[in-house]
Chains A and B, each alone.
Chain A
């Protein structure tokens, strides 16, 4: 499998949040603002890279019957290390993300990639797979976070100082001045509605692109495909 293919799968074709629909609990819970989304997305990406790496390196000694418990041990260790590092260096962000950092352990996407990819591939492709899956999850989180923050607060990147220090305060963008606040977007129903819209948008884009490819085939003189696009 080529690296380009791995990247396309992780980011788009098999996107964890929008296609495979794994790890919805953190996706829905921590996407009220863009900054929270970036924080959890990066932590999840790091977890995926290192757990995939560890799993691919140990795949020779892990027999099938102990694979799952070993994966759980590896993932839990990686997450705890990331949690400690965040607590030490990004303490304020850690206090906001709180319980969702340790809960990365329960994100099915991570054990899913360990089982479906890293346990069958060598180290480098596994790291690339972890990176692209993580970035795909980050992408879904940030899009949902942007949608909810924009609708809910009328801003983007609020509280960016939690992640970037003093400098972050200049990152906040007030898109809708004097926004009265839209509670629904910030509460759990807003997360579900936003995710639904994102998935619909992604599917529309996919079928739109497929359709265009089809009509382009027409103009270049290739045989016309008569199978309907939808």
Chain B
């Protein structure tokens, strides 16, 4: 009986010391980790957002869901860039769900006039050497989205060339670029219908649902 209690006390002690250590380190590092994550996010946004905005783009954001355009119940985050209160562009953070191997995390910057500023892949598990040409470091394929809109190319063109569209596929990998092209087109379609909501300053900054 005493032995059991002693064991329990020893185990409890280890747990308490461990928890105290973690709490301490977490308190010490929380600020720095948050700053690092901000820096990474700003670096990623910086590549596809214009220079002429004057709001705090990381804080000026909304999250929403829309099954028709962003399937599988995902939450989409929209970062809004404004100049003197006027909408300049929005960056949507969402996933392409039809990749070869899991989700492809995308950032799409869309100008207020509906043209694409640019698209970036922030995380994916596509095959190295085949599907990973969607990364800007590996090829400039992703840059071909810049300047495109729903009007140019027209709807039929929003597909890879094998499907009769305007976008290149890669040698040995059609599924990956097809997934990205489809997801970006759906995002543009969402933007064209819901632009007012996306730029609405009154919209609840966190967790509001789509209109």
Contact = CB atoms under 8 A, between A and B. Distances in A.
A and B interact physically: yes
Interface of A: 58, 61-63, 65-66, 69-70, 73-74, 76-77, 80-81, 84-85, 87-89, 91-92, 95, 181, 183, 186-187
Contacts of B13: 61
Contact of A81 (B21, B33, B36): B21
B129 A84 contact: no
Nearest to B20: A77
A84 B25 contact: yes
A87 B29 CA distance: 8
A208 to B, nearest CB: 36
Interface stretch (B4-12, B182-190, B200-208): B4-12
B7 A63 contact: yes
A87 B14 contact: no
Given A65-B7, A69-B11, A181 B129 contact: yes
SS class of chain A's interface: helix, strand, loop or mixed? helix
B125 to A, nearest CB: 11
Nearest to B24: A81
B164 interface: no
B173 to A, nearest CB: 12
A181 B18 CA distance: 45
A77 B16 CA distance: 11
A66 B25 contact: no
B129 A77 contact: no
Contact of B25 (A73, A76, A85, A89): A85
B133 to A, nearest CB: 12
Contact of A84 (B18, B19, B33, B127): B33
Interface string B16-51: 001101100110010011001101100000000000
A84 B10 contact: no
A87 B130 CA distance: 30
Nearest to B29: A88
A70 B6 CA distance: 13
Given A84-B26, A87-B36, 18 more contacts: A61-B13, A62-B14, A63-B7, A63-B10, A65-B7, A66-B7, A70-B14, A73-B11, A73-B15, A80-B22, A81-B25, A85-B25, A87-B29, A87-B33, A88-B33, A92-B40, A183-B128, A183-B129
B3 interface: yes
A89 B32 contact: yes
7 contacts: A58-B10, A63-B3, A66-B10, A73-B11, A81-B25, A91-B36, A187-B128
Given A84-B25, A85-B29, A87-B33, A95 B18 contact: no
Contacts of B7: 63, 65-66
A91 B40 contact: yes
